[in-house]
A and B are shown apart, each in its own frame.
Chain A
Amino acid sequence: MAQTAHDTHAHAAHAEHHDHGPQSFWSKYVFSTDHKIIGIQYGVTALMFLLFGFCLMLMMRWQIAYPGKAVPVVGTLLEKLLGEPAKGGVIAPDLYNVFGAMHGTIMVFLAIVPLAFAAFGHYVVPLMIGAPDMCFPRVNMASYQCYFLGGVIMLASFLIPGGAAQGGWTSYSPLATQIPTDGQTYWILGMVFLITSSLLGSVNFIATIIQLRAPGMTWMRLPFFVWAMFVTAFLLVLAFPPLEAAAVMQLMDKVFGTSFFLPEGLFVGGQPADHLSGGGSPLLWQHLFWFLAHPEVYVLILPGFGIIAEVIANNTRKPLYGYRALVYSVLSIGFLSFIVWAHHMYLTGMGTKISTFFQTTTMIISIPSVIVLTCMFISLWGGSIRFNVPMLFALAFLPMFGIGGLTGLPLGLSYVVLQLHDTYYVIAHFHYIVAPGTIFAIFAGIYYWFPKATGRMMNATLGKIHFWGSLIFMNLIFQPMFAQGMAGMHRRMYDGAATYSLANGQDVIGALSPGIIKMNINITHAAFGLLIFQIPFIWNFFHSIVKGKKVTGDNPWEATTLEWQAPTPPPHGNFAEAPHVYRGPYEYSVPGAAKDYTPQNQAP
């Protein structure tokens, strides 16, 4: 098994020629059934959506900081594209709602999940378990295509009269269906495609992990990343369908005039909605939505855990601390995440008994999350840490996720939520988890696996600039939001709460002080700073694909897991010779071993 990189290379290239002969550009890169190409397709598309979602937010931030002023640079373009709602380049309230709803939707369903779960999962999981591909390659292709179509529908909805959905990413009924534009219909259709895509993908993941593990790859020899993906896939398979059911019902409400989520005696715009049968339940939507959306937040973070675990083990050059504890924690997180959903609904009047139940489960689920974080912190102890770019991001992930997680605990308590519900405190809390949390994990993953996918390294200096800029500005953006939220500033206000400013001379309880309002401007500046520090990354990414420093072997980070034992970049079919696994995933610095790492497929 101890082949040199060169050998493997030649072998693989040879094998591929035998199997396929030359493939056309279309069948190789667009309609590919190769899990690695599909992973890259997901990755590139999702990165674009990440940038797009971020740009939406930048325009919103401008409007929050300087309400009523024309958006600089792109203002005229906005007016040309969107017409009335962006008159004079100013973001009208309706357009703010559109951007807000679509920022949330795009970030969650089109950017982060497709990146963290689909892109890395597709590329890395089959390699890590020593499989030639996924179980169902054509289903895999369909999964990407559904994702792509869903994205196109979401984007197209910006251009229809009245614009995209305005009801927030949560799309609460009756609001979402009673807004008189068609954006919500597109949103639902888009969601149906995205749900189908994630369903096809995750069924494939689970089947692959169960069926295609290489000989010797027992469950407890799986890298933690694979475990994280395994649980994530289960969450997607089981949590998404109820949202699909809800989406179908909302579509019926919107298109066929049913009243699934519309109560009796509803008034819309001051008029009684007599033509409706009524009798539906707005709470039903919220339950079905959060039954998905809470597991979904773990879908957003678990792949991040997985990536960080790999990067940390590799760069501390020692085994992960508490591998088993990590595995059991992630399994219990998966299970528990199905019974905490109504902690998003404390203020709906669903009753104190139910609140108490969900409050309890919420406190319980924080335990395994803390175990995961603790294990990763302890893993650093006594390691000889290599501070390369992936590791920097991984190290920053830990405290950032810590802040996000700890600030979430108060939100699990129903009486605290009386003050904090729907304020910027909530925004700050979950963004600490997804932005400097998951996004940092994604960056770590990109810098880490880039050499495997392309055969070239990304530039480390640019990477460090990218890292420090992102770290600083992320905190400058989200830290002040805690203060704003605790002062009572609500989310989803298009003028950044200017209406509630003390400066208006009102003597209202809860009016916001000038200091709180002024933070809006600082945050917006920081958001633009964050944009500037993404430029080195974007350049680095594309430039390194063609011009980056070539790797000298298959295993530039000297890692133990199987993906690094495959040729670089791995050909269709992956391994030159089907690997056999003899040991656990993190045999770093084993006393008495020849090197400070022992690959999983190295025979004893």
Chain B
Amino acid sequence: MSLKAIHIVFISAAMLMCVVFGLWALGEWRAADGTANLLYLIGSGVGFLALAVYGWFFLKKLKNVSYL
């Protein structure tokens, strides 16, 4: 697997982590309010979107590099 391939894996994992973080923050916020938790929730959503956009840009830019 080339650096390109593992980078895609990595970005997907990071997106997944944003989802987990978001769900966690949602749970905490529901249970006990707190502005910090709301911020985490929004932050993880933004992070997820940013990573998705970056990932798309990355795929486009490195179209010609092989996965192996």
Direct contact of A and B (CB under 8 A): no
Query: Which A residues lie at the B interface, using CB under 8 A?
Result: none
